[in-house]
Amino acid sequence: MKEAKERHLFEEHYQICGLLGRGRFATVYKCMHKETKQYFAAKIVQKQHPRVDMEASILNSFRHNKNIVSLYEVYQDSRESVLILELVPGGELLYILGTVILTEYDMTHVIKLLCSTLYCLHYKHIVHMDIKPENILICNTLHKPAKPAMRLVDFGFARVLQNNRPGNIEPIRGTPEFLAPEMLRCDDLDVVTTAVDMWCVGVTTYITLTGISPFQGETACETVARILHCDYYLGDDLFGGYSRDAVDFISKLLVPSPRARMTAAECLSHPWLSKKKRSKQRQYPLSQHVLSSVRAALSERVISDSMSMLKLNLRELSQCSESNIKPSTIDRNYKSSYK
Ligand code: ADP
């Protein structure tokens, strides 16, 4: 990729056509290149932040990976950065689930693409740190018999592990519902390994199959306590329509010990992803009541996001247990993040 261009040239070269989405730091617009009439996604980050350079550098080095969104140009000044990305028109995975008929087999295909993408990233000691359904965009090739294609986005939290050594967790990154237990325990701060992403694959798979976030509690503290206790449900009323392989796949990812968790390579050879046919297939779209619970969970993102930015007192949080949850711990931190 060429050098970043002057920020003011963005409006000269592109016309903004509409909003695609908002993240924690960025607003993403659909835009058209005025000369070629081609459409792109313009990711505008309010302040020039080190995470923009990290994102641009990772996207640049993986530009040949077709499951990772392509970066074409960067416009920058001291106030704002604009990343010109490939437009992924299908939308976020979760919203697709509510509108398109997908089978369990289709879902194994998407998760397989995700795992093979993570395999490539992890091979280069890169941890994405924010794997979740909102960061998995689907291209509009969902018409049968074509298999769904996906693009992984949002590398702003990504970490490059030096000499493949575990990285330090400070400050907390990622969305709390997706934080691996080792990120919340305080026995060791050097806990960032590629296994963190694999935990998120487990949470993402659970959500995409059931429409329910496995550790979502009534309060942020309850969510954290449930993660620390690895307290989630795999009963037949939720998973009865799916193959046993699907349940086994999730249960081998949502394990407290990062060492015991499946790696991306192990996921790819797990029967759920490697078998050609599924005997039981649940049909989508998800029912309306499941979808509304998903939407409610997504609106919780606002709370989750502020939590991820606050300076969580890890020691206090790790003391949360079913009998010893101290909501005041979270509330205090939560409120102080707004001061
Ligand atoms: P942030 O870095 O602030 O978290 P994201 O990169 O996650 O922002 O982008 C926010 C949202 O914008 C995504 O969840 C998605 O809905 C949308 N989006 C991001 N990149 C694209 C793209 N290349 N094509 C289409 N939509 C996109």
HEC profile of 21-41: EECCCEEEEEEEECCCCCEEE
Ligand 1 within 6 A of CB of 55? no
**Distance from C-alpha of 140 to C-alpha of 149, rounded to nearest angstrom:** 8
Going by alpha carbons, the residue nearest to atom 14 of ligand 1 is 134
**71 compared with 171, residue with greater pLDDT:** 71
Confidence of residue 285 (pLDDT cuts 50, 70, 90): very low
Contact yes or no for 177/243 (Cβ under 8 A): no
Amino acid, single-letter form, for residue 132: K
CA separation, residue 20 to residues 15, 83, 108, 172 (Å): 14, 14, 26, 27
* Mutation to probe ligand 1, out of 19, 20, 92 (largest number of atoms < 8 A from CB): 20
Whole-number pLDDT of residue 324: 35
Cα(156) to centroid(ligand 1), Å: 11
Q: Where in the chain is the domain with CATH 3.30.200.20?
A: 19-28+38-86
User: What mean pLDDT do residues 123-136 have?
Assistant: 93
CATH code of the domain occupying 91-337:
1.10.510.10
Asked whether the predicted pLDDT for residue 57 surpasses 80, the reply is yes
Structure tokens at 253: 């990812």
* Greatest Cα-to-Cα distance within the chain, rounded to the nearest angstrom: 63
Query: Residue written as tokens 């010109």?
Result: 84
Kindly name the residue from 130, 154, 197, 245 that is annotated as catalytic: 130
Residue nearest to atom 19 of ligand 1 (CA): 28
Comparing 34-43, 145-154, 260-269, 314-323, the range with the smallest average pLDDT is: 314-323
Mean pLDDT over 315-320 rounds to 41
Mean pLDDT for 219-235 is: 90
The first and second tokens of residue 2, run together, are: 């060429």
Q: Which atom of ligand 1 sits closest to the CA of residue 24?
A: 3
DSSP E strand stretches across 148-239: 150-152, 159-160
Q: What is the pLDDT, as a whole number, of residue 48?
A: 62
Mean pLDDT of 112-117: 97
Which pLDDT does position 53 carry in this prediction?
A: 86
Helix, strand, coil % in the chain, rounded to nearest 5? 40, 15, 45
Q: Choose the weakest-confidence range: 49-63, 114-128, 170-184, 251-265.
A: 170-184
Ligand 1 center–CA 124 separation, angstroms: 24
Domain 19-28+38-86 CATH class label: alpha beta
Residue 142's pLDDT band (cuts 50, 70, 90): low
The larger pLDDT score, comparing residue 166 to residue 305, is at 166
Neighbours of 158 (CB within 10 A): 20
The 3-state DSSP class for residue 14 equals strand
Which carries the bigger pLDDT value, residue 291 or residue 97?
97
Span 56-84, mean pLDDT? 93
Beta-bridge mates of residue 6: 76
For residue 156, which atom of ligand 1 is closest to its CA?
2
- Residue 305 is a catalytic residue: no
Range(s) within the chain of domains with CATH label 1.10.510.10: 91-337
Where would I find the beta strands (DSSP E) of 126-203? 126-127, 136-138, 150-152, 159-160
Task: State in Å: Cα 135 to ligand 1 middle.
Answer: 7
| Paired tokens of 14 | 């592109």
Residue 309: band (very low, low, confident or very high) from pLDDT cuts 50, 70, 90: very low
Q: Is the CB of 153 under 6 A from ligand 1?
A: yes
CB–CB of 208/222 below 8 Å?
no
